[in-house]
């Protein structure tokens, strides 16, 4: 009887150990990272609603209830979630809040003292954040540390590949066209990663729409900078940006700036889209007619054409770099080395 009881206790212990680590996440990209690194050892609960807006999201009681019992609660940090203090008071102290952006160096918006909180728009930053998540997962579940390490290594390599692809593709953009004009300042980390100059029209664009003098000054500045294209938020086409683009005679391209795109759920998909869109926009030499009505089909066609060609070229260059590296490691030994081996 005692022996049977011991066996049952051991089985119960094994079952408890096998239970996945419960993680709550306040952003889809953090959920993606947690699933990629945690694999089948974690269960991720998305608190962010499917059709939510990043800077308007406020967890409801139903969403908070899904976080109860979590070992970790993942947040972007850097002020992205202003509701965090109140959320802490609603959840057990046993749940550790992890602000993954806390270890990411600040990048200021040019001409201001404000920090761009959209740190995830750099693959290098996501790689750095993944190391923090690895440490936290290993701390709450040390038994599976090696499992997490293996998966984090794969994730880090994916981020390295995205950085390499971005640098290869965007290095082709001429110096005088390396300016990324967006509606709001959300791409400063992206620009720092890929050596571009960010320029945000936030506030100015809205003001210019109803003020001819302001619009004239803005258009003059953009023409002097020879801006090739304007970039809007993904699945959004603000009228003020379309008005400015039409006056300049340039196209608009969309970027996933807030990390939220239903049809591009993973970070790799979003960053690949952004790199391709920026490459297409900054390489775009086709002037659009000066009319407010933009053709979405024309823009999409141009984007796909340039992006496909650029990605193919980048892929070839990455393969060539890897081939060179492999050839270097396996280089034939010199005559001196051969003599030493004989001795």
pLDDT tens, 179-205? 999 988 999 999 999 999 999 887 555
In a domain, 44, yes or no: yes
Query: Is residue 227 over pLDDT 70?
Result: yes
Q: What percent of the chain stands above pLDDT 90?
A: 56
pLDDT level of residue 278 (50, 70, 90 thresholds): very high
Residue 59 and residue 136 in one domain: yes
Residue 189 and residue 78 in one domain: no
In a domain, 332, yes or no: no
Residue 89 and residue 223 in one domain: no
In a domain, 149, yes or no: no
Candidates 284, 296, 114; CA nearest to 202 is 114
Q: Where in the sequence is the domain holding 76, given as residue range(s)?
A: 20-104+123-144
Residue 191 and residue 73 in one domain: no
In a domain, 324, yes or no: no
Burial label for 35, CB within 10 Å (0-12, 13-18, 19+), is middle
In a domain, 158, yes or no: no
Residue 306 and residue 178 in one domain: yes
Residue 26 and residue 75 in one domain: yes
Query: How many domains is the chain partitioned into structurally?
Result: 2
Task: Find the Cα–Cα–Cα–Cα dihedral 327, 330, 331, 336, rounded to 10°.
Answer: 170
Residue 130 and residue 210 in one domain: no
- Structure token digits, residue 51: 């059709």
List the CATH number of the domain containing 72.
3.40.50.1980
Query: Is residue 326 over pLDDT 90?
Result: no
Residue 40 and residue 136 in one domain: yes
In a domain, 167, yes or no: no
**pLDDT of 22-54, one tens digit each?**
999 999 999 999 999 999 999 999 999 888 888
Residue 137 and residue 203 in one domain: no
Candidates 239, 252, 246, 251; CA nearest to 210 is 239
Residue 55 and residue 191 in one domain: no
Query: Is residue 229 over pLDDT 70?
Result: yes
Q: Is residue 41 within 8 Å of 148, Cβ to Cβ? A: yes
Compare 69 and 212 and report the one with higher pLDDT.
69
Residue 211 and residue 283 in one domain: yes
| Mean of per-residue pLDDT scores for the chain | 83
In a domain, 160, yes or no: no
In a domain, 338, yes or no: no
Residue 177 and residue 302 in one domain: yes
φ/ψ of 42, rounded to 5, equals: -130, 160
């Amino acid at each position: 009887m005692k022996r049977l009881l011991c066996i049952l206790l051991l089985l119960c212990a094994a079952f408890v150990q096998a239970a996945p680590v419960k993680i709550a996440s306040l952003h889809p990209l953090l959920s993606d990272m947690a699933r990629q690194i945690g694999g089948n050892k974690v269960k991720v609960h998305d608190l962010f609603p499917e059709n939510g807006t990043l800077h308007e999201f406020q967890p409801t009681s139903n969403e908070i209830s899904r976080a109860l019992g979590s070992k970790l609660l993942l947040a972007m940090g850097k002020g992205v979630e202003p509701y965090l203090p109140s959320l802490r008071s609603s959840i057990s102290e046993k749940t550790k809040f992890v602000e993954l952006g806390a270890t990411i160096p600040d990048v200021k918006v040019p001409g201001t003292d404000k920090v761009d909180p959209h740190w995830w728009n750099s693959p290098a930053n996501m790689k750095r954040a993944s190391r923090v998540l690895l440490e936290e997962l290993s701390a709450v579940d040390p038994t599976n540390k090696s499992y997490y390490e293996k998966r984090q290594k794969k994730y880090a390599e994916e981020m390295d590949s995205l950085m390499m692809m971005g640098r290869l593709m965007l290095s082709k953009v001429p110096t005088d066209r390396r300016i990324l004009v967006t509606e709001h300042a959300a791409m400063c980390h992206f620009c720092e990663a890929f050596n571009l100059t960010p320029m945000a029209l936030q506030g100015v664009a809205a003001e210019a729409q109803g003020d001819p003098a302001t619009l004239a000054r803005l258009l003059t500045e953009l023409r002097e900078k020879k801006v090739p294209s304007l970039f809007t938020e993904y699945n959004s086409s603000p009228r003020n940006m379309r008005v400015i683009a039409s006056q300049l005679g340039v196209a608009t391209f969309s970027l996933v700036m807030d990390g939220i795109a239903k049809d591009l759920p993973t970070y790799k998909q979003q960053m690949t889209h952004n790199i391709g869109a920026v490459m297409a926009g900054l390489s775009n030499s086709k002037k659009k007619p000066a009319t407010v009505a933009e053709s979405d089909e024309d823009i999409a066609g141009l984007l796909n054409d340039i992006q496909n060609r650029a990605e193919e070229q980048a892929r070839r260059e990455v393969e060539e770099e890897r081939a060179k590296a492999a050839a270097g490691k396996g280089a034939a030994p010199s005559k001196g080395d051969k003599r030493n081996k004989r001795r």
